Chains A and B, each alone.
Chain A
């Protein structure tokens, strides 16, 4: 079974600064997918970024980028130029590569609460 660990329950960053959220995972799979989702107080889970394990290049989406270290099973999220709207819970999630007919299940960590302050 896969496990996802987020060791930082809470973090705080000032507006315009950079912050990095940590995530480690445990799996015996060689091909899989990793995600970061954010969940603001409105509760809706919103995709931030996705990484395919077979791709060596780190994914980026505007101010969001990841540092994917496959050998270390580490998948951290960097938020640059933090904005007040980035305040949310951030969840790291794992999905293993699928065989036909199997469910594409997401396994989530326990989340990191990020507060962006003025």
Chain B
């Protein structure tokens, strides 16, 4: 059974640029959640996708957007990057509802 994978591992961008992060969910999971973890903090919920639809969103601006594909993999897109977007971005997959979320290794984004 393949676990949750994320790409790339590290990314460096400059202010104003756009970035796309990718996540492959664990086999059998149909729900993907994205979290942002700033240095020294706990993860903060960005949004969740269930069967290709966004079904919940945290307190993040619209320049944070996402997609989920028919194979349940997902993308997180961030437009007009700001310095404060520098963080570890974590993807988690689950079978939906209150099922346990299993996390990928994360993508470290640095915005200069």
Residues of chain B with a CB closer than 8 A to A95's CB: 98
Q: Does A30 interact with chain B (Cβ within 8 Å)?
A: no
Bound-complex Cα distance A35 to B56 (A): 20
What is the interface of chain B mostly: helix, strand, loop, or mixed? strand
- A98/B35 contact (C-beta < 8 A), A104-B48, A110-B41 known: no
Q: Does B66 interact with chain A (Cβ within 8 Å)?
A: no
Q: Does B58 interact with chain A (Cβ within 8 Å)?
A: yes
The number of inter-chain residue pairs (CB within 8 angstroms) is 71
> Which one of B16-24, B67-75, B76-84, B89-97 is at the A interface?
B89-97
For A104, give its contact among B42, B44, B94, B106 (CB under 8 Å): B94
Give the bracket for the number of chain B residues in contact with chain A. Answer: 20 to 34
- CB <8 Å contact, B100 and A108: no
- CB <8 Å contact, B98 and A105: no
> Which one of A11-19, A45-53, A60-68, A74-82 is at the B interface?
A45-53
What's the least CB distance linking B21 to chain A, in Å?
A: 14
What does the 1/0 interface line of B83-112 toward A look like (CB < 8 Å)? 000001010101011111111111010000
- CB <8 Å contact, A104 and B96: yes
Interface residue count on the A side (C-beta < 8 Å) = 27
Bound-complex Cα distance A44 to B35 (A): 13
Nearest 4 A/B pairs, CB to CB: A103-B56, A108-B42, A45-B103, A103-B48
Seen from chain A, the residues whose Cβ lies within 8 Å of a Cβ on chain B are 4, 33, 35, 37, 42-47, 50, 91, 93, 95, 97-98, 101-111
Seen from chain B, the residues whose Cβ lies within 8 Å of a Cβ on chain A are 31, 33, 35, 40-45, 47-48, 50, 55-58, 88, 90, 92, 94, 96-106, 108
For the complex with contacts A103-B55, A110-B42, 18 further pairs of A-B residues with Cβ separation under 8 Å are A37-B103, A44-B106, A45-B92, A45-B103, A47-B102, A91-B42, A102-B55, A104-B33, A104-B96, A104-B98, A105-B33, A105-B48, A105-B58, A106-B43, A106-B45, A110-B40, A111-B41, A111-B42
